[in-house]
Chain A
Amino acid sequence: MSLVSLDQVHKYYGENHVLKGVDLKVEAGEVVSIIGRSGSGKSTLLRCMNGLEEYQKGAVIVDNQSVENDDYKLRLLSRSVGMVFQNFNLFPHMTVGENVMLATKLVMKKSSAESEMLAKELLEKVGLADKFSAYPGNLSGGQQQRVAIARSLAMSPKVLLCDEITSALDPELVGEVLKVLEKLKQEGMTLILVTHEMNFARDVGDRVVFMNQGRVWETGQSDEVFSNPQTEELQSFLAAVR
């Protein structure tokens, strides 16, 4: 069974049919990039995988759990699925360390000492060991996003959803965040990213999913998709972003 499996997922915002029957399977350890024009439904698709968005038809199964609109089930699911947002969404009133430790204490019920050890380990991994006591407001965007990654890793998720996580960053800060993602891939983490970083999608991603008009328009191994796009829409999209 795939780690993430979407079967004929339909999503409506009122009259607006946003996802029109999306099928997608992601295996453990895969890095999948979702690309497409704005409004093509790629963020919505990602948010259906952890229950931030409801869908009206179809099935989403992640780590053998059905994603449904049920608070208790979604809380269980959140241990398997981590998410990193475009705007970091760090908690401004907590230090970096407290941000990372919040869920391990409240949700995993780990002791303070255990949480602190884990938090320091994770911050070390994202290269911010020295920022444990700093407040998010005093960090650069790239640093904040790396803290956000460490924070979601604290729940030891099986898959990490990344929603345009470099889009709010200054160009020179994008690299440090992508480096962390590369490291995670090497460690075998499953990553699903909505991204505009075509180089990253091509060089690091295993597979690319091109969304268009609420459908998976074209999908395939990264190098193939980029070197030899089949559909006219993908060709014109790639020509536009390059």
Chain B
Amino acid sequence: MSYQLDFAGLVPYLPQFAAGLWATIELTVISTLGGLLLGTLCAQGRISKDAWLRRSCSCYIEIIRNTPFIVQLFFIFFGLPALGLKLSAWQAGMFAMIINLGAYSAEIIRAGIDAAPKGQWEAGQTLGLTRRQVFWHIILLPAYQRVYPALVSQCIIVMLGSAVVSQISVEELTFSANFVQSRSFLSFESYMVAALVYLLLAILMRQTFALIKRFAFKNPSL
């Protein structure tokens, strides 16, 4: 059994790979920002004094964390139009990634919030801050700092998970690899390139997050 690798055969398809890569980067950046924002708001919702808000946030988080991503994606893309909400493949993919990261990051961030010493809340309260001000100014940043490694991993999982949105024809990196292999019949090479690019993206993401960490958390330790 012998197989001759033919990467040269992929050269004509470089524009496809580039377009796919760019789409994956766009999906990742937007869903990371949107997902972390959503996760932060839900984490805040889960410690709210309003029982109704607390329950809705828990409900959302548990539903997303206990169902497969691809089902969530199909539900949004194929299911929601039945309710009158028609989204393009791109919008549906983006939406699915945001609500997915939102749920997972909410739980991670909440762990960081729970670990905040009670004295931090009390100190803020005795200084006359509102509960909301204490949360945003005092509790949140150290909470991120505590759970930062877990948060980074989750963002990378979502980036890798973006491959799934090719299933609803979002033209990202995996979609490109699929397309190229169906045209060139170089499936081994196509997917090898895709895998390598994902690997590099993950490494790049980790390094970006490490850089952000240096600027965001200047205090020596918690």
- Alpha-carbon separation in the docked complex, A52 to B127 (Å): 12
How does the 8 Å CB contact mask read for A148-160 relative to B, with 1 for contact and 0 for none? 1001100100000
Which residues of A, 101-153, contact B by the 8 Å Cβ criterion? 102-103, 106-107, 135-138, 148, 151-152
Q: Assess the B122–A151 pair: CB atoms within 8 A.
A: no
Q: Assess the A91–B218 pair: CB atoms within 8 A.
A: no
Residues of A within 8 A of B129 (CB): 75, 102-103, 106-107
Once A92-B222, A135-B220 are accepted as A-B contacts, the answer to whether A75 and B138 lie under 8 Å apart by CB is: no
Residues of B within 8 A of A102 (CB): 127, 129, 137-138
A89 at the interface (CB under 8 A from B): yes
Residues of B within 8 A of A (CB): 117, 119-120, 122-123, 125-131, 133, 137-138, 141-142, 145, 217-222
Which of B127, B141, B218 is within 8 Å of A78, CB to CB? B127
Q: Assess the A87–B119 pair: CB atoms within 8 A.
A: yes
A36 at the interface (CB under 8 A from B): no
Q: Assess the A71–B122 pair: CB atoms within 8 A.
A: no
- Alpha-carbon separation in the docked complex, A17 to B120 (Å): 27
Q: Assess the B123–A137 pair: CB atoms within 8 A.
A: no
Query: Which A residue's beta carbon lies closest to that of B123?
Result: A89
A62 at the interface (CB under 8 A from B): no
Which of B122, B126, B142 is within 8 Å of A81, CB to CB? B126
Q: Assess the B128–A79 pair: CB atoms within 8 A.
A: yes
Residues of A within 8 A of B128 (CB): 75-76, 78-79, 103, 107, 155
Residues of B within 8 A of A85 (CB): 119, 122-123
Once A135-B218, A137-B219 are accepted as A-B contacts, the answer to whether A93 and B142 lie under 8 Å apart by CB is: yes
Q: Assess the B127–A155 pair: CB atoms within 8 A.
A: yes
Once A71-B130, A106-B137, A107-B129 are accepted as A-B contacts, the answer to whether A89 and B220 lie under 8 Å apart by CB is: no
Name 17 interchain pairs, CB-CB below 8 A, sorted by A: A76-B128, A78-B125, A83-B126, A89-B119, A92-B142, A93-B145, A93-B217, A102-B129, A103-B127, A103-B128, A103-B129, A106-B137, A107-B127, A107-B128, A136-B219, A137-B219, A152-B126
Q: Assess the A137–B221 pair: CB atoms within 8 A.
A: yes
- Alpha-carbon separation in the docked complex, A82 to B125 (Å): 10
A74 at the interface (CB under 8 A from B): yes
- Alpha-carbon separation in the docked complex, A152 to B128 (Å): 10
- Alpha-carbon separation in the docked complex, A82 to B129 (Å): 13
Min CB gap A71→B, angstroms: 7
A44 at the interface (CB under 8 A from B): no
- Alpha-carbon separation in the docked complex, A81 to B126 (Å): 8
A5 at the interface (CB under 8 A from B): no
A50 at the interface (CB under 8 A from B): yes
Q: Assess the B119–A93 pair: CB atoms within 8 A.
A: no
Q: Assess the B119–A82 pair: CB atoms within 8 A.
A: no
Residues of B within 8 A of A152 (CB): 126-127
Query: Which B residue's beta carbon lies closest to that of A136?
Result: B219
Closest 3 CB pairs of A and B: A78-B128, A89-B123, A103-B127
Known: A87-B117, A87-B119. 16 other contacts (CB 8 A): A50-B126, A52-B126, A71-B130, A78-B126, A78-B127, A85-B119, A89-B117, A89-B122, A92-B142, A93-B145, A93-B218, A107-B127, A107-B128, A137-B219, A148-B123, A155-B128
